[in-house]
Amino acid sequence: ETGVTQSPTHLIKTRGQQVTLRCSSQSGHNTVSWYQQALGQGPQFIFQYYREEENGRGNFPPRFSGLQFPNYSSELNVNALELDDSALYLCASSLDGTGLSDTQYFGPGTRLTVL
């Protein structure tokens, strides 16, 4: 049990819709990272937030955006959903610093299906 929770566990959307995924980090963890994992693939880094500011971003378009809140929760928003956005979305929190330089604690993921 990592103490990191995500909601919802799974959901189905249609192409063109918008979705918000939520993550609740461990208390005291100032860094949260979001990853997309397509079926059969390794995770791909979307972005990272540190103390409510984005401080790193992978190769994802601007329709992927995020927010981090002072209560250690965060959101991943995806606009104009495409079929290829179907994946498992994982969030991971860490105490401080630049994410993978600290131990990351992963949530169980949200499985998004876009029809």
> Under the rule (CB under 8 A), what is the footprint of another protein?
2, 33, 35, 37, 40-45, 48, 56, 58, 88, 90, 92, 98-106, 108-109, 111
CB of 10 to another protein, least distance (A): 10
State which residue, 26 or 70, has the beta carbon closest to another protein: 26
CB of 91 to another protein, least distance (A): 10
Distance CA 91, CA 61 (A): 18
CB of 59 to another protein, least distance (A): 9
Distance CA 10, CA 26 (A): 21
State which residue, 2 or 20, has the beta carbon closest to another protein: 2
- Of 15, 12, 6, residue with least CA distance to 35: 6
Distance CA 87, CA 9 (A): 12
Distance CA 11, CA 85 (A): 12
